[in-house]
Structure 1
């Protein structure tokens, strides 16, 4: 199980020798997960470099900490759940998503199969300790959505911040938590190893529509209005590289994906990694464009969560811009 000790590199730059490229720091959590596959591909296939930008990955334990690092000026761009914008907009006016990488939340929740934990129905979640990356993260928000959609409340469970893989597996095995919400491939790996029973998922388009009554944006790149205005060329380069990777992904075979993704991302089992990718394949964005009706669906759903009343001050239409992704779509016929 060598993968458990293999944490993502904190900073990685893609710079052509002898050539200066403008640098952008992207903050994210679970950097080796399939959640960020389009960014991994854009990096490994050289699309960032082709677009004229050097990327540094600034990896954090949770999306909330990644978002904070952007607010504090430690990173330029956040890669994470679109829902972060509903709170970022309350702190920094003009914080916007500019290219979409995922079109479902790409998360699932599993209950431990260890002896002593009884599972008969969703009501058995009451009182369980649920591991999430942090209390202001997509894993927490998604768990709240699932609970409330099935007649429970967030306070019916005990949320335990556990960060992101690989330490989450040890938290589950040690009994520190009873259930876990995380992205793949970790959740699929645990499911295949019979260590969790997946009870909720928002990987597929169908499951996402059922939960939210329609589609919602998934992972996006987002940044401050100041960065959008001061560095439009760098933002466009990021958008171009991502849309290029999304275009590549539409026709890529499993062998192509395996060749492009570093072995350290496979969790020590390439068959399980590819199986997890197959479950998620339809969930990746096609052209990077954010759609108003999906943004509204997300806003309405999030307003029902704890402290959701604060979203009344957020104008959904101002949480994103398609100015950059539209140009990228034309360039790559996405």
Structure 2
């Protein structure tokens, strides 16, 4: 009898322990705040901190769960912000121009400066062989008013051809750009230079130039948050930015592990992934603040490139109130 009672007691303790563990797991899961995070395009290395933060547990450490949504360019992603289909997003500096057009969101951090990651990729069958040949050429971009659109028109303007000296053709995601290039519908397209490296291996294209060689004072990528998120969940924005900084610091210190995770997204072979990492990490900042000369470049360009009729008030475009204090 005593032995049976002892067994029953142990059984009850085990049941209680299991129930307690399950309650702790449930409480832990409930404690995580979900953020629906959009990407203007799904695969660039500069946007892989979203997945790296999940796999390393950094988001969870800061009480967050990140659900990622990929879009076919800045314009389509901005529609996601406008409809509250997403809470925050990773997009381009030029995409801030949408805020002046009434998109209910703001940029809350700048995380990539000069466009070291972006290349102009020219098809092997195109007559374009050098920079001067680009006048009048057709170049694929993701969407109008996107980063790729801005870079192409700004390059044309800086060459003295005016913003329309190079024709931009909105083609959405990468497969559409590659297909149009192979059919000869465009001479090439603007995308992460790593895409060009991959196409060089197959003989389909080459990287004609890196935009980082032409454009210095710039914010290539920023973090956006909807006005609803800003008003109702400011603490989660702060937690996101604090965690983001930690992810970037992890990436700087752990190249091999960063490439193991990011390659699942970028689909790059090891040699090209390593080459991209070395080229791009210098543009990834942990300061997150908006640089005055970079903002000036963007404001001026919105008018010069025909995106906006006049320079907008910077307060409409971005805020620094959620950026963590310097450590």
Q: TM-score, normalised by structure 2?
A: 0.83
Secondary structure at 1:281 match in 2: helix
List per-residue Cα deviations over 1:62-87 (Å, max 9, x = no partner): 11101111111211112100221122
Alpha-carbon distance in structure 2 between the residues aligned to 1:309 and 1:302 = 8
Residue of 235, 238, 255 corresponding to 1:236: 238
Q: CA deviation at 1:41?
A: 2.1
Q: CA deviation at 1:303?
A: 2.6
Secondary structure at 1:155 match in 2: coil
Asked if the contact 1:146–1:200 (Cα under 8 Å) also holds between the matched residues in 2, the reply is no
List per-residue Cα deviations over 1:7-41 (Å, max 9, x = no partner): xxxxxxxxx96312221111113222113133232
Residue of 33, 39, 60 corresponding to 2:71: 60
> What runs of 5+ residues in structure 2 fail to find an aligned partner?
1-23
**1:1-334 map, 5 Å:** 18=26, 19-20=29-30, 21-92=32-103, 95-105=105-115, 106-114=117-125, 117-203=126-212, 207=213, 210-211=214-215, 214-253=216-255, 255-267=256-268, 269-310=269-310, 312=311, 314-327=312-325, 329-330=326-327
Equivalenced residues, count:
300
Secondary structure at 2:107 match in 1: strand
Q: CA deviation at 1:241?
A: 1.5
Alpha-carbon distance in structure 2 between the residues aligned to 1:198 and 1:302 = 27
Asked if the contact 2:106–2:317 (Cα under 8 Å) also holds between the matched residues in 1, the reply is yes
Larger-Rg structure: 2
The CA RMSD measured in Å over matched residues stands at 2.3
Q: CA deviation at 1:109?
A: 1.0
Alpha-carbon distance in structure 1 between the residues aligned to 2:284 and 2:224 = 17
Counterparts in 2 of 1:264 and 1:107: CA distance versus 1, 3 Å: closer
Alpha-carbon distance in structure 2 between the residues aligned to 1:57 and 1:306 = 32
Alpha-carbon distance in structure 2 between the residues aligned to 1:164 and 1:275 = 23
Counterparts in 2 of 1:300 and 1:91: CA distance versus 1, 3 Å: same
Counterparts in 2 of 1:252 and 1:172: CA distance versus 1, 3 Å: same
Secondary structure at 2:323 match in 1: helix
Asked if the contact 2:136–2:167 (Cα under 8 Å) also holds between the matched residues in 1, the reply is yes
Counterparts in 2 of 1:197 and 1:257: CA distance versus 1, 3 Å: same
Alpha-carbon distance in structure 1 between the residues aligned to 2:167 and 2:220 = 25
Alpha-carbon distance in structure 2 between the residues aligned to 1:263 and 1:226 = 32
Alpha-carbon distance in structure 2 between the residues aligned to 1:183 and 1:92 = 26
Asked if the contact 1:27–1:67 (Cα under 8 Å) also holds between the matched residues in 2, the reply is no
Q: Which moved further from structure 2: 287-296 or 272-281? A: 287-296
Q: CA deviation at 1:194?
A: 4.1
> What runs of 5+ residues in structure 1 fail to find an aligned partner?
1-15
